[in-house]
Structure 1
Amino acid sequence: MAIAKTNAVRLLDRLEIPYELRDYEVDPDDLLAESVARKIGLPPEQVFKTLVARGDKQGVCLAVVPADCELDLKALAKATGDKKIDTVPLKEVEPLTGYIRGGVTAMACKKPYPTFLEETAELFDVISVSAGVRGVQVLLAPGDYVRAVGARLAAIAKSRAG
């Protein structure tokens, strides 16, 4: 079955960035990035989720962190130059990005928000991010992702306390 091209995929085509698409079965009750990682056969530290945050000075930004980690808000605030930053309420995610929960990506977002990628992404030849819809992931080189979205690398993830 051919996977429909999303705006994110069209952006990669325009930039001539090589990628691979992997589709997976979507369970609306389980949109966890760890589940996506399992379904596409990659370790969770190689599958990245995109979170929408808003700082007190710089406004909205995107934080891209591994599936098995949490966003470190203090570290993100330091990276953005904000004193205080927090993730936006779920109801604001789609109006801000044009994407629904489980399908948020920095690629071809409604606006080109500043994007911060957890620096551990550089440890891998390939990382996986949402293609802009639930059920499809894009696999690409971290450097290509950085180029496609103008991301800045920063240590913004922390292990889940558990």
Structure 2
Amino acid sequence: MSKQKETKTNAMREIEAAGVPFESHLFPCEKALSGVEVAKLLQQDPDQTFKTLVTVAKSGEHYVFMVPVAEELDLKKAAAAVGEKAVSMLKSKELLPLTGYVHGGCSPVGMKKLFTTTIDETAQLFDTIMFSGGRIGCQVELAPSDLEKVIPLHYADITVS
């Protein structure tokens, strides 16, 4: 049991602190894999597996978006969803200092600061969804309604049609 405690991430600790049930999926991984590769490795539906994307708006505000791993974030829809004129993807080198997470291991839970988070509306179609548990080689699975208990979250159509 102590080994399990050693593997816990900030994201897992925050989910546990919120009293939300979740399942962790750990897998050996030397480098960041694409979300589709992770879903395939864990034998999960790519539509049910979400990637966490961090953006910056023209206003300077940062926003987090979660989309299915095989989909692409529509930047215009994303901006509209958060009431901004435009958003762009955060530069990879800015991710760690801003969030505390590395590319390929970025979770919407447990970031250094809480950002407005929008998840694609398709998440509501599933009993559970998977997303990064806060490091490369770690995914967490929980109900979308339970994720709402951990971080403020809203749903919108934010993928490229």
TM-score range, shorter chain: over 0.9
Aligned match of 1:124: 126
Conserved 8 A contact 2:18-2:149: no
The answer as to whether partners of 1:23 and 1:40 remain within 8 angstroms in 2 is no
DSSP-derived class of the 2:20 partner: coil
CA distance in 1: counterparts of 2:73 and 2:148, whole angstroms: 18
User: Which of the residues 46, 49, 62 maps onto 2:48?
Assistant: 46
Hey, which bits of structure 1, 4+ residues long, moved more than 2 A?
Answer: none
Inter-partner Cα distance in structure 1 for 2:58 and 2:153: 20
Alpha-carbon offset, residue 147 of structure 1 = 2.2
Identical-residue share of aligned pairs (%): 37
Where do 5+ consecutive residues of structure 1 fail to align?
A: none
Q: Work out which of the residue numbers 26, 30, 54 in structure 1 matches 2:29.
A: 26
* Alignment match, 1:88: 90
Q: Please, which runs of 5 or more residues in structure 2 have no aligned partner?
A: none
2:137 paired with 1:145: no
- Give the corresponding residue for 1:36: 38
Measured against aligned partners, the alpha-carbon deviations of 1:21-68 in whole angstroms (never above 9, x if no partner) come to 01122142x520000001111111111000010111261010110001
Counterpart residue type for residue 113 of structure 2: K
**Equivalent residue number for residue 7 of structure 2:** 4
Aligned runs of 1:91-106 on 2, under 5 Å? 91-106=93-108
Tell me how many residue pairs correspond in the alignment. Answer: 158
Q: CA RMSD in A?
A: 1.4
Query: What is the deviation of 1:77?
Result: 0.5
* TM-score of the aligned structures, taking structure 2 as reference length: 0.93
